[in-house]
Each structure stands twice: as structure tokens, then as C-alpha cells.
Amino acid sequence: MSFQNVKWEKTDRIATVFVDRPKALNALNKDTLVELKSAFIEVGEDNDVDVVILTGSGDKAFVAGADIAYMQNLSASEARAFSRLGQEVFLFIENCAKPTIAAVNGFCLGGGCELAMSCDFRIASSKAVFGQPEVGLGILPGFGGTQRLSRFVGPGMAKQLIYSAANIKAEEALRIGLVNAIAEPDALIETVKNIAGQICRQGQFAVRLAKHAINAGFETDINRAMFYESDSFGLCYTSPEQKEGMTAFLEKRPPQYKK
């Protein structure tokens, strides 16, 4: 597919997807959301990709939010449809079989914060700024923010951030568990690629089953979640990766997984 607002590239089995509207601080409009889903379909189907990094073009913003100029004059039914589109795209990213990492390189506000939360985890630039400022515009987060933020930082902190429309810096995002680590701006992508490379060196069938078990188990009770885990554990033994991984361990050598 030909993209206008998104681009992606791959090196060493790592795909990097960019929201590519730097003049608009990578704001999300309808076309950008549609292109994001298409890009993730492509990387998901690419057998030469094991890990996906999501970031924003330029050095000012990951995604500064949804496109307010686009949203301003929507009707109630149009606004609901726009919300459902964003939710659908972000759920698609969340359910991507391959591990996803958000490299947050600047403003990560509103829809941008919601997009980052759809990834498996987030690494932030020291200059990154996070927030859900929607109530200051007379609306509320509509791309999953009311649900994912409370799951990551707890309902009390999520309510404080959403009700107050407050922005927080990277250090506070790290403290409350919204991001996993902070890197200097010029080292952010290298830091994230190092983490992605470490993931690429593991058994990918097991990595993807682990992702499924975590995501599925998080949405149910602990007893059912344990069945997801044991079923996935058993499935690992249908893959040649299990035999190679354990044989390599016993032979005290690195595993040689087939790509």
C-alpha cells in the first residue's frame, strides 16, 4: 500500500513504523489511523520481521494527539464512529502477534498516549511529555485511554491524570509505571533497537505465545489465565525451537533458531 502519513522500514528483523506528519506534530486524523492499521498488517505478515518499533517522525512528537481541526465539527454520531475507528486500530496493534515497542520521542498526548499504550511497552526520551488532556477540550479520551491507562497506572492515578488534563514528564511516567525506561533523545532509537534485538534472538514461537498468554490472561480471572499459560506452555513443545533451545542449553552454546 502507498502511504501518505505513515512509513515503515526494516533492518535486522526489526520493523520501525513511523507516524509521519511532523508538520502537524504527527497528529492522528482518519487517514492516518487507516494507514497505521495497513502498516501493521504489512509488518505482521512479513516473515522477515520479528519485532516492531512504533515512533513518530521528527524530534518534537511521538504523536501530539488526534487532529483537533478534523474533530472540531463532527456530529455526535461521527464522533462515535471516529472513536470506534481509533479503538479498532489500536486493538489491532495491541493484538499484533509480534512484540511491539513504542519509542516515545516527544509529545505523547491524547491519542498519542493512547497509541503508545497499545504497544507491549514504552521506552521514553528524557524530553517526552505524556498526558490525556481531552477534558480540557470538552471531550474525554476516546481511543481506549479511559481503559488502558487505569490498567497500567491504577484507577486512582488514571482518574487524576484524565480529570485534571495534566501533562507529566518522562520521569513521572517512569515512576507511575507508564514507561519502562528513559533514554537521552539521541540514544532513544538505538536503545529501543538493542532491546528489540535481544527479543529477536529468542525463540519467536515462544515469544508470541507468551504475548498471547499475558494479554489473554490479563482480561480474565487467575484460574482461567493459568489454563492459558499451561496450554501455551504445551504448544511450545510442538515447535523445533524448544528442542533446539534446550539442547543448546545442555550443550552450553547459544541456540541457533531458524529464521
Q: Give the active site residues.
A: 114, 134
- In Å, how far from its chain's centre is CA 156? 23
Tell me how crowded residue 246 is: count the other CB atoms within 10 A of its CB: 12
Tell me how crowded residue 176 is: count the other CB atoms within 10 A of its CB: 17
- Cα separation, 63 vs 10, in Å, equals 21
- In Å, how far from its chain's centre is CA 122? 7
Cβ–Cβ under 8 Å, residues 59 and 104:
no
Q: Taking the CA atoms of 77, 107, 200 and 11 in sequence, report the sign of the dihedral they define.
A: positive
- Cα separation, 259 vs 157, in Å, equals 42
- Cα separation, 133 vs 140, in Å, equals 8
Residue from 215, 239, 246 nearest 228 by CA: 215
Q: Which three cell numbers stand for residue 235?
A: 504448544
Count how many Cα atoms sit within 13 Å of the Cα of residue 183 in the half-sphere of its side chain.
19
- Cα separation, 154 vs 148, in Å, equals 9
Q: Which three cell numbers stand for residue 101?
A: 515497542
